[in-house]
Amino acid sequence: MSQLRSKVITLYKHLQYLGREYPGLNGPQKFRKQIHDAFMNHKDEQDPKKIVALLAQGRYLAKEVEALYSLKKYRSVKQRYSYND
């Protein structure tokens, strides 16, 4: 159970870190609050299978946010270096 606890804490910290650059007006604060609320909603979960499923869902969310950031960077680089012919 302590291994799952450490994985949950690590995922929480990673998502909070990713939220610092979330786009939009009040994006970072809103994203971090949503992450905090989601973790607090499941704080009393005891079933290891359910916890593993929630961890998988959290890792999927982290990958989606990372993809969003990389797409944002790609678009800005493309816009800077595109030639208007």
Mean pLDDT of the chain: 89
Q: Is a pLDDT exceeding 60 seen at residue 85?
A: no
Q: Which two tokens mark 13?
A: 């910290």
Cα 5 to its chain centre, rounded Å, is 18
Q: Indicate whether this model's pTM tops 0.75.
A: yes
Surface-to-core class of residue 75, CB atoms within 10 Å of its CB (0-12 exposed, 13-18 middle, 19+ buried): exposed
- Average pLDDT of the residues in 58-62: 95
Q: For residue 84, what pLDDT band results from cuts at 50, 70 and 90?
A: low
22 or 85, greater pLDDT: 22
| Residue ranges of domains in the chain | 1-84
CA 83/CA 44 separation, integer angstroms: 55
